[in-house]
């Protein structure tokens, strides 16, 4: 390898590291929320989000844009970590001691109403297909575009939009009938 090629690789790595640092502020919460929707534990979701950025930092030298934006790459890492986490969790039993935390200055009635609505939506979302849940998670909770979600799901952006439309339509119908 020539000195020029080595210098170019080092510059690309530095640029990617800088982009990753900038994406951390914008996407950490989105990735943590995405993970939380799948694993149900805020603490574990935040740990997993941190692990996403750690893995990304370790392999940033190998990252090449190739039409997939870096944030989609981060969500692909998050998706893989969530799948691994769920596989491991299936092997052990965990009983949550306290799933609702009420802050001292929060209105307990408002919190209870939000929890009831969240339980209702969560229950209804279980009736969607895995792909539909994944599309909704990536698009709405992850804040990704249909193209970025498509990169993660190996689908075209049009297919993602159609899956999203069908999922929302089914979700509306299920919520209306449960209602």
Q: What is the mean pLDDT of residues 141-155?
A: 84
The C-alpha atoms of residue 174 and residue 91 are separated, in whole angstroms, by 32
Contact 122, 101 (CB under 8 A): no
4-18, 139-153, 158-172: range with lowest mean pLDDT: 4-18
Task: Please tell me the least confidently modeled range out of 11-15, 92-96, 114-118, 130-134.
Answer: 92-96
Q: Which domains does the chain have, with CATH numbers?
A: 1-99 (1.10.1740.10), 103-179 (1.10.10.10)
Mean pLDDT for all residues in the chain: 79
| Per-residue pLDDT reduced to its tens digit, 19-38 | 778 888 888 998 998 888 88
Q: Does pLDDT of 5 surpass 60?
A: no
The candidate with the shortest Cα–Cα distance to 167, out of 148, 151, 141, is 141
Task: Say whether pTM exceeds 0.75.
Answer: no
Has residue 162 got a pLDDT over 90? Answer: yes
The answer to whether the beta carbons of residues 76 and 138 sit under 8 Å apart is no
């Amino acid at each position: 390898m020539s000195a020029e090629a080595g210098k170019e690789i080092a510059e690309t790595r530095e640029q990617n590291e800088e982009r990753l640092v900038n994406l951390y502020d914008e996407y950490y919460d989105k990735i943590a929320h995405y993970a939380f929707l799948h694993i149900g534990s805020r603490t574990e979701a935040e740990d997993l989000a941190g692990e996403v950025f750690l893995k990304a930092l370790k392999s940033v030298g190998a990252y090449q844009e190739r039409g997939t934006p870096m944030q989609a790459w981060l969500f692909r890492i998050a998706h893989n970590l969530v799948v691994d986490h769920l596989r491991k969790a299936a092997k052990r039993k965990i009983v949550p001691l306290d799933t609702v935390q009420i802050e001292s200055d929060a209105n307990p009635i408002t919190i209870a109403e939000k929890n009831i609505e969240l339980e209702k939506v969560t229950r209804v979302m279980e009736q969607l297909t895995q792909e539909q849940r994944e599309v909704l998670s990536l698009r709405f909770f992850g804040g990704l575009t249909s193209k970025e979600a498509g990169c993660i799901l190996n689908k075209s952006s049009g297919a993602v939009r159609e899956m999203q439309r069908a999922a929302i339509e089914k979700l509306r119908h299920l919520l209306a009938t449960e209602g």
